[in-house]
Amino acid sequence: MATPQGKSSTPPVAIVCVGMAGSGKTTFMQRINSHLHSQKEPPYVINLDPAVRNVPFDSNIDIRDSVNYKEVMKSYNLGPNGGILTSLNLFATKIDQILNLLEKRTTPDPAKPEIKPIKNILVDTPGQIEVFVWSASGSILLDSLASTFPTVIAYIIDTPRTASTSTFMSNMLYACSILYKTKLPMILVFNKTDVKDAEFAKEWMTDFEAFQAALKVEEEEGSFGGMEGGNGMGGGSGYMGSLLNSMSLMLEEFYSHLSVVGVSSMTGAGINEFFEAVGEKAQEFERDYKPELERKRKQRDDEKKAFREKELGKLMKDMAVSEEPSSKDPDQDMDTLSDMEDEIDEEEDEDGEGLTERYKQALADSGSQPPGGEDHSFTRYLRASQMNM
């Protein structure tokens, strides 16, 4: 069987698994990790869930090793979600160290040719999907990965719970928001196909009329949205039915940019198809997404450079570095201490007597002198001057 990533020359791929609570994300991580080990291609695994107690796979980098989730909650007086978010923020400060480790493990080492470089990086995220996707730390982690490796988002969906048209559409809208927030290629993974086949979802995504027919059936049976009763909140007639029809048409373009696979984390069915989709999305990343990321990165660098130049110009203006004369009185010269001393020296040279002689003359004119003459008077004058200073 061929390796999931094909040739050894292909760059390593980062697979970031996200999904709502209960979608089977951790079990899916275990399955793909086991699959890669069976292919003699062990991945590099990163766990970003600080609140999980046990994970069914070994992590090369685990957020729990550097951040204590419970201590963060106590120290900052936070709830569960706030504790996860703050833990991710603290962990994001180590992103440079993480990238250095990943680059070492994904680059062949001439000194150790027996060690095969890593071809897959698996990233497990917190079950509270919004904490990771919509947080600043999540953006930092994803952007840093995408700037170094081809990065693919695997959005895990609970297939049995998506059987109704309303929950299906909710999942699609969430996937759409994640796609346009992360701006990374995405694979929709319909998990738990051993419980319910995912063909209905694939049909709804490719055939608008099939989705419309399913919606009409739910309205007639009074099971719209998974609730019983044909009227009131349980009914699907009117506004909600029309809204779902409109959204299904709106998302038609969105569906065309996705790869859809059905997998079973329990049995392993569909895992090969998943890695085929990963290979396609990695090529799509290099072709379509990477140039856009580089363009935006260059744009941000240019904006930062322009901002620095603007601030430097303000600073130079505040420091009066400009060569233009002062607007108050261009002819007026400011006297400095050194200028005044120069004038005094010139006057002393013209009069033919130094500063010491002038001090002596002033003391001589003041009256009586004690024994010891002018030298003693001059010393007393200097001491008095020092005391008055």
Task: Convert the pLDDT of each residue in 125-184 to its tens digit.
Answer: 998 888 899 899 999 999 999 988 999 999 999 999 999 998 999 999 999 999 989 989
At 308, the amino acid letter reads R
- Checking phi first, is residue 2 left (phi over 0); if not, alpha (psi -120 to 50) or beta? beta
Tokens of 383: 């001491």
Give the per-residue pLDDT at 364. Answer: 56
Q: Which helix (H) or strand (E) holds 34?
A: helix 25-38
Q: Are 36 and 143 in contact (CB under 8 A)?
A: no
Which range (27-31, 64-68, 272-276, 312-316) has the least confidence?
312-316
Give the model confidence (pLDDT) of 292-339 as tens digits: 777 877 887 888 888 888 888 887 777 754 455 555 554 555 444 455
pLDDT tens for each residue of 340-383 = 555 555 555 555 555 556 655 655 555 544 544 444 555 555 55
* 158 strand-pairing partners: 191
Query: So what's the pLDDT on residue 123?
Result: 96
Task: Give all strands (DSSP E) within the chain, no chain letters.
Answer: 13-19, 44-47, 61-62, 120-124, 151-158, 186-191, 259-262
The tokens for 321 are: 């570095």
- Return d(Cα 255, Cα 139) in angstroms, integer: 24
Q: Please tell me the distance from the alpha carbon of residue 188 to that of residue 176, in angstroms, as a whole number.
A: 11
Whether the predicted model's global pTM rises above the 0.75 cut: no
Q: Would you place residue 116 in the very low, low, confident or very high pLDDT band (cuts 50, 70, 90)?
A: confident
Which residue did the predictor score with more confidence, 203 or 8? Answer: 203
